[in-house]
Amino acid sequence: MQLVDIAVKRPVAIAMFTLAVLLFGMVSLGRLSVNLLPELAYPTLTIRTDYTGAAPAEVEQLVSKPIEETIGTVKGVRTVKSISRPGQSDVVLEFAWGTAMDFASLEVREKLDILQLPLDVDKPRLLRFNPSLDPILRYGLSFNTPDPSVEAMKSLRIYADEQIKRQLESIEGVASVKIGGALENEIQVLVDQRRVSQLNISINTIITRLKEENLNTAGGRIDNGNQAFLVRTLNQFTGLNEIGELYIANRNGKSIRLRDVATIQNTYKERDAISRFNGKEGAEIAIYKEGDANSVDVARLVGIALERIQNQLPSDYALDKVYDQSEFIKQAIEDVKSSAIIGGILAMIILYLFLKDFWPTLIISVSIPLSVIATFNLMYGNDISLNIMSLGGIALAVGLLVDNSIVVLENIDKHKQRGKGLINAATAATEGTKEVSSAILASTLTTLAVFVPLIFVEG
């Protein structure tokens, strides 16, 4: 028994099945993720390492190159490239399409754990995003009051780094949060060149003494019976006076302290950019998503977190949204949706003008939303998001559906007219549909064949 026979002879069963498909389709629609384009999970990992105070050449030689050599043997890596900036190294790994990124991350972490870097280099961090991509969100943190002081601008930057950044980076789907602008706190040691020349003390000696006396490093483990204790060497400077009292050398029986040959001051780093929001200088908060995260969902979760942060802000701080990629995505999706709906309505109007029969037009009109809603079940089951590409495919399918519906209804009507009332509607529907089913199937497959090569596209 063919599908056409079942549909005609079992109307109640078909009606119940259709209602079930509609119900599950509506539920699936509510759970579909929304993106501008299909979720393309770029197989990339970024190893970020901070080396405070180091020049780009030092960062490249002491950090970037050793990391490149260590992780170059990881399975599935296609290319390795690094970006060495003042005080920071980014090593970007690009994997082959189809690589299981969770297992790749574990293997990279294992390689990094055995890597020996200079003691004053921070522990490498593994990020699931490409730093060359743009952030999905930008916010501005500024003052409500005009002309804030230097200390206030430094406090603003510290608040953004230590409070807002930490809370946002814990959100699911957020890969990294970058803080820029404002004034970044910095302790500067301004060496008196004439004084150190008189005392025959080199700059390298001062740098070495500062590194030796400002430590926070692991010291191994002590085993005591059934107990184990982790040991750390904690000897960091706590204030400017302590830095000034640092012993540098001995000259003529006199101890030379750092304050004797240099001026120590609490100031800010030299800036290469200034961020302004609504005419006021402030700190920029740039939020990057993980490669396989949903932009709209990440933006929503960040928005919820920032509402909570907004309530905790000091009274003289203002947090403003500067850029939100999800708004553009949602607007683009809504435009495609409305275009598809308007196109469907216009198609029905044109059908009625040409057929001049209400019932065939109604049947085709009902078949369109039924088919579209049923499609949401398959999209949800295959983890396909609502995006411009998938909605465009649905719009194309609506056009094919209307064409096929017209052909079938026209043939059914022809069978009824030939029978001149001697055959009932059920027989006419069965015979009319069977007669053109092969031609319709061939026509549809011909159209779909154009998209078959896309199956073999990687990613």
Sketch the domain layout of the chain as residue ranges: 3-31+357-449, 43-129, 185-268
Domain 43-129's class? Answer: alpha beta
Question: What's the CA gap between 120 and 140, in Å, rounded?
Answer: 32
**Which contiguous run of DSSP H or E holds residue 235?**
strand 227-235
Question: What's the CA gap between 212 and 265, in Å, rounded?
Answer: 20
Sequence-distant (≥ 6) Cβ neighbours of residue 160 within 8 angstroms: 141, 179, 182, 283, 285
Provide the 3-class DSSP secondary structure of residue 175.
strand
The two three-digit tokens of residue 418, written as one number: 């030939």
> Closest Cα to residue 178, out of 208, 209, 217, 136?
136
Question: What's the CA gap between 153 and 161, in Å, rounded?
Answer: 13
The crossing angle, in degrees rounded to 10, of helices 358-381 and 388-419 is: 140
Which residues pair with residue 256 across a beta bridge?
Answer: 249
Residue 43 backbone phi and psi in degrees, to 5: -80, 70
Burial of 344 (0-12, 13-18, 19+ CB in 10 A): buried
**Which contiguous run of DSSP H or E holds residue 406?**
helix 388-419
The tens digit of pLDDT for each residue in 365-423 reads 787 888 888 888 888 888 888 777 888 888 778 777 777 777 887 788 787 777 655 56
b vs e for 108-144, b when ≥16 Cβ sit within 10 Å of the residue's Cβ? beebbeeeebeeebeebeebbbbeeeebbbbbbbbbe
C-beta separation of 22 from 373 below 8 A = yes
pLDDT at residue 1, rounded to an integer: 46
**What residue has token string 């050599």?**
69
Phi-psi group of 253: left, alpha or beta (phi > 0 → left; psi -120 to 50 → alpha; rest → beta)? left
The two three-digit tokens of residue 219, written as one number: 């010291």
Are both 3-31+357-449 and 43-129 of the same fold? Answer: no
From first to last of its 459 residues, what are the pLDDT tens digits of the chain?
Answer: 477 777 777 878 888 888 898 899 888 888 887 777 776 667 888 899 988 778 888 889 999 999 998 888 888 888 899 999 888 899 999 888 778 888 888 899 888 888 888 877 888 888 876 555 678 889 888 888 777 787 888 888 888 888 888 888 888 888 888 888 877 777 888 888 888 888 888 888 888 888 877 776 666 778 877 787 777 777 777 778 888 888 888 888 888 888 888 888 887 777 777 777 777 788 888 898 876 677 888 888 998 998 888 888 888 888 888 888 888 888 877 877 787 778 778 877 877 887 677 777 787 778 788 888 888 888 888 888 877 788 888 877 877 777 777 788 778 878 777 765 556 777 777 888 888 888 888 888 888 888 788 777 765
Q: How many residues are there in the chain?
A: 459
C-beta separation of 36 from 329 below 8 A = yes
pLDDT at residue 39, rounded to an integer: 65
pLDDT at residue 219, rounded to an integer: 66
Q: What is the DSSP string of 238-281?
A: -SHHHHHT-EEEEETTEEEEHHHHEEEEEEEPPPS--EEETTEE
Provide the 3-class DSSP secondary structure of residue 390.
helix
According to CATH, the topology of domain 185-268 is: 3.30.2090
174: number of Cβ within 10 Å: 22
According to CATH, the topology of domain 3-31+357-449 is: Multidrug efflux transporter AcrB transmembrane fold (1.20.1640)
